Structure 1
């Protein structure tokens, strides 16, 4: 009988948590002209509604900012983290979709746009 009661209580808790409105998202953006990925002078933090889509880039005062991270608490149980891995290939995809961003890069003709804080990410393949 205890198992049935616990199952009902747990099921009710899960149902209740799934009915809660989504918590707000926090997103961090970095200016493409900043020297470091987490530089204070080039960082910009914004909050979005829980059901809003956080864009990959924003323009503020004529400057281009790329999303570094977005976080959102889920049901009070865990944190969802969106962590784009910016590199030259991802930037190229963004420029194909939004060619108007190219002139906003520090070095528009460079493969990495002249963004100094891009990292070279290790290969995910097993050796």
Structure 2
């Protein structure tokens, strides 16, 4: 990677317990901060579990990494075809559309969300055979 000329795009992530996984969280955080220090922009997906990036389960706080880190740009999904908002639109018909309709843009219900999601991008795309 070239300093100040590289973008790293990754689509992975996992939830970690803030309390029990502190050592792992710090290790991951340091590595992504090192990439930033080298001028590398890191973009990561928010995930598709319909959960908050920062959540609580059984009185324990969890964060999804690397998305929850300040050193990455976290991208969530929009329903760019209106599939989830239009009860008459089939997935096949949505995928056959040649153009996205900005009037349909809303967060896709499967997309993870929360204050650590920096931007939303098309989450459904057209598949050409």
Give me the TM-score of the superposition, normalised by structure 2.
Answer: 0.23
- Asked which structure has the greater RCO (Cα within 8 Å, sep 6+), the reply is 2
Pair member with larger Rg:
1
